[in-house]
Chains A and B, each alone.
Chain A
Amino acid sequence: MKTHPDGVRSRLASEPVTRRDFLGMAAIGAAAAALGLVTLGMLRLPKAAVLSSPSKKYRVTLPASLAAGQAFVPPGRAVALFRDAEGVYAVSLTCTHLGCIVKSQADGFECPCHGSRFALDGTVRKGPAPRALAWYQVSGRDGNYIVNESATVPVGTRWQA
């Protein structure tokens, strides 16, 4: 500890911690810890328990005239349904790159945002997309089907009623 020549403690030296100071600091520390823990618990607030997005499971009626390999896009949904000899299947139209809606074309799918191209089965052909387009679970019969977007199925899985 710095001391003045005549024994007086220098104003620049740090003061010793008294018992009163120690108790005060302990109280402040405890309050800060409690507040910190409560805040930590409340950090869950911004993560919604229920998502407000539209239902992931919905009914689709396929027109009888739908030709094999022709895409049917239910209004307001980012999914394309196809029917061929082996059955019905649904391919997601949400680009795996940055979430734009891909366009269904004769030879596959094309994304308008950054030019990713996908083959007819959804595998990436070109561009920045990191994954193949998802295939969704389909069930139902006689032209009426249920598409479940929260369940993906392996590429090539078709539904045969």
Chain B
Amino acid sequence: MNTDPGPKSALREFAANLLQAPRRVYETMCRSGVPHTDRTRSTFVFGNVFLHLHTARTHRWSLRWSTTWGLGILSASAFLITLVTGVLLMFYYKPYPDVAYQSIKDIHFVVPTGRFIRNVHRWAANGMVVGVFLHMARVFFTAAYRKPREFNWLIGMGLFVVTLGLSFTGYLLPWDQLAYWAITIGANIAQSPREITDALNLTGAFDIGGLQKELLLGSDVVGEESLIRFYLLHVMLLPLALGVLLAVHFWRIRKDGGLAQPDDADQRLGPLPGDAYPVFTEAPQKTYQLAAVVKGRTPAVGSGPENTVPSMPHLFYAELGVFMLTLLICLGLAIWIDAPLKELANPAVPENPAKAPWYFLGLQECVSFSAFMGGMGIPLLVIIGLGLIPYLDRETSGTGDWFGGAGGGRLVTFSTVFGLATVVAVEAVAIHFGWLREWFPHIPQLIITFINPGTIVATVYALYSLAVVRRFNSIRAGALGLFTCFLCGFIVLTLIGTYFRGPNWAFYWSPAEWPMH
């Protein structure tokens, strides 16, 4: 029958191939097909460039809500949302003084869905900052930074700094009064090492503060050069840095053996629940030659790893759930509350009170006593201290448990009380009785620069932490005490800066008491 290979059958084949093409494109794109066996569920993960940042199988401990509360994925989801909405805003935003303000106004009032997208961008950015803070606290309190995850903690610190940088640079772009004066203050904080070089009479020869400000602003005042610089940082350099760090952060979770877990996690979890996909339904057919060249213990040949489930679907559905929740929160807030836009920037009249975004208001509270220590010295010490944590605490007990390690929950409770009492007491003195210059009008500037209420609080916290190290004979206990105090100090200072500071940065119990002006 088929002995006639004429041109007609090639044509027919052509037509058939054409019909089959869409299905084949799909098949060649998703190489492993629908993941319904253990092997295809694995290839689904490691055959995909994006998903293979995860392991193919996930330990059940990592999937418990209380292990992570989904905070890392929440931060990453918020970043994705800012990325998408940010690119959409770039369609209409023009980074030039005054024009920038008009373009934001256009986005707010004229561009279809513009206001909504800007609101989502703003709320996702706020959510990202909150998420990163909480995620850091979670990793600290579960002691998940320990070996072999020390360096990933440092990458996390980098992500924290870049996140704050993204928020700070984004703050200038609307070019309204809020933006202009917040960035003026920020740039002058960068210049604040001058307080020290001035006091030592070195500014003429070595003006590091002036250089920092000039590099940041591209000028000596906030102007067109500054706006272009902040725009470049905000839409290009910092998102790129964040994306790269984020990929490394995820990848290292995989390479460090998944999330941290207690030694007895398997016993505590108990047997697999019925609805979980069982482990290794098919006999493994791989050889283990790799065992000769990879570091570490020989893989357990012939027996599947205990208590893991395929990442597809268990992990990915959970992550998708967190993403949807983040999106829902951002959309909800965006419908409910608009992103602020004040009057056009006016370099002659400062906003009063001129407030930075809320997460910088704790710093601004410190800065209101002396710029260098409050704005650079203390933050730098805090960041160095946080970065050193995994290299100082080399203990092993309590890894993977909330408030694990010596002292535990009771120590954290006591430290919370101590931390709150210290910062409230010092601030109460500073607010009620004034600070050094009111007491000793001729005091040298160098003393005012260094002895800031923030410095006192930080010193008390450090001494307290050393006492805790001695009392419990454990470095982890000291770290628990210090980190808890640091959180308390941060929260109290932020609250004071946000709710209790009015015009001229004076203390008011409520904005209703602000003087009219």
Contact = CB atoms under 8 A, between A and B. Distances in A.
Contact of A115 (B198, B221, B371, B505): B505
Residues of B contacting A: mostly: helix
B16 interface: no
B448 A11 contact: no
B451 to A, nearest CB: 12
B224 interface: yes
Nearest to B437: A126
B401 to A, nearest CB: 37
Given A47-B214, A130-B198, A100 B350 contact: yes
Contact of B367 (A76, A77, A98): A98
A51 B185 contact: no
B215 to A, nearest CB: 5
B504 A110 contact: yes
A87 interface: no
Contacts of A101: 347-350
Contacts of A98: 184-185, 188-189, 192, 367, 371
B292 A115 contact: no
Given A115-B368, A130-B195, A99 B184 contact: yes
Contacts of A112: 350-354, 503-504
B171 to A, nearest CB: 15
Contact of B223 (A12, A52, A125): A52
Contacts of A71: none
Contact of A53 (B189, B219, B349): B219
B369 interface: yes
Interface size class, chain A? 20 to 34
Nearest to A101: B350
A113 B195 contact: no
B504 A115 contact: yes
B223 A53 contact: yes
Interface in A98-130: 98-101, 110-115, 124-128, 130
Interface in B127-171: none
Interface of B: 181, 184-185, 187-189, 191-192, 194-195, 198-199, 211, 214-215, 218-221, 223-225, 229, 292-293, 347-354, 367-371, 434, 437-438, 441, 445, 448-449, 503-506
A97 B371 contact: yes
B435 to A, nearest CB: 8
Interface of A: 11-12, 46-48, 51-53, 75-78, 97-101, 110-115, 124-128, 130-131
Scoring A46, A48, A124, A127 by chain B CB atoms within 10 A of each residue's CB, the highest score goes to A127
A128 B368 contact: yes
Contacts of B350: 100-101, 112-113
A48 B505 contact: no
B506 A115 contact: yes
Contacts of B219: 48, 51-53
A130 B445 contact: yes
Given A78-B348, A100-B181, A111-B504, A52 B225 contact: yes
B223 A99 contact: no
A47 to B, nearest CB: 6
Contacts of A110: 504
